[in-house]
Amino acid sequence: MSQTIRHPEILEIARREGKVTVEGLADHFGVTLQTIRRDLSELSDAGRLQRVHGGAILPSGTTNILYEERRSLNRRAKSAIARACAARVPEDISIFINIGTTTEAVAQELLHHRNLLVVTNNINVATILSANRDCRIVLTGGSLRRTDGGLVGNLAEDTIAQFKFDLAVIGCSALDAEGDMLDFDIEEVGVSQTILRQSRRTFLVADHSKFQRSAPARIAALSEIDTFFTDRSLAAPLAARCATWGTETVVSHPM
């Protein structure tokens, strides 16, 4: 197998698992340790991975992975998370759904819910839910972020501030060991913080890859979330913090 075939798969494994090891990749591809070390060095030189002892991790950058790339990552996990989240969403409520590939998966699972008022700053969510005739949809204003169909900025915040939602479903770009939700775009952070203030209950949807990532801007702590839907159990210290905060964690394993 040539490196041109190995490199994309190495990156996919790193995004799925958060880390790759030299020995694990050598076994996976059936090549020598030296070959994998050379692959990792080339990916590191290209800025795609960061070398660590025994392997490599995703770089802790200040820019997010491309949106279409994120859509293809951990699809089964996102679907499992979305199903669990949607099962907890009642009918006859007002709900905010924000930007993200996992929140879009939740929207897909709400196609048969009745009498929802959905407010969103995600054009993709609005498009998905337009197929549900029992769902009234309100798009916030804001600056269009063409990379992902998100609406951000002061106008989006001003629209959200006019509502008091029964429930908000939000995502984040990263989640650190202390339980802080993080993002890359400071304008999106402002929108997310406004959503949290204007919602009676809040659900966070995020797969395990967010545990290994970092982002520069803080949204809030998990203490401000009522229920966190994910696909893997939290590390013991963070799980203990969530218990203290009263943040419920729902783990849904992909089928």
Q: E-strand spans in 122-226?
A: 135-139, 143-145, 150-152, 167-170, 174-175, 180-183, 202-205, 217-221
Contact by Cβ (8 Å): 18, 55: no
pLDDT value, residue 142: 95
- Asked if residues 213 and 174 have their Cβ atoms less than 8 Å apart, the reply is yes
Whether the CB-CB separation of 124 and 139 falls below 8 Å is answered with no
So what's the pLDDT on residue 75? Answer: 83
Set out the domains of the chain in order of their start, with CATH numbers. Answer: 3-57 (1.10.10.10), 67-251 (3.40.50.1360)
Cβ distance 82 to 109 under 8 Å?
A: yes
Distance CA 74, CA 10 (A): 15
231-234 long-range CB contacts below 8 Å, 24 or more apart?
Answer: 231/74, 231/77, 231/80, 231/81, 231/207, 232/207, 232/208
pLDDT one digit per residue (tens) for the chain, 255 residues: 566 789 989 988 887 777 889 999 999 999 999 999 999 989 887 778 878 888 888 765 544 555 555 665 678 899 999 999 999 999 999 999 999 999 999 999 999 999 999 999 999 999 999 999 999 999 999 999 888 899 999 999 999 999 999 999 999 999 999 999 999 888 899 999 999 999 999 999 999 888 877 788 999 999 999 999 999 999 999 999 999 999 999 999 887
Supply the pLDDT for residue 56. 87
Closest CA to 247 of 153, 175, 188: 175
Instruction: Find, among 219, 138, 236, 139, the residue nearest to 183 by Cα.
Output: 219
- pLDDT value at residue 62: 44
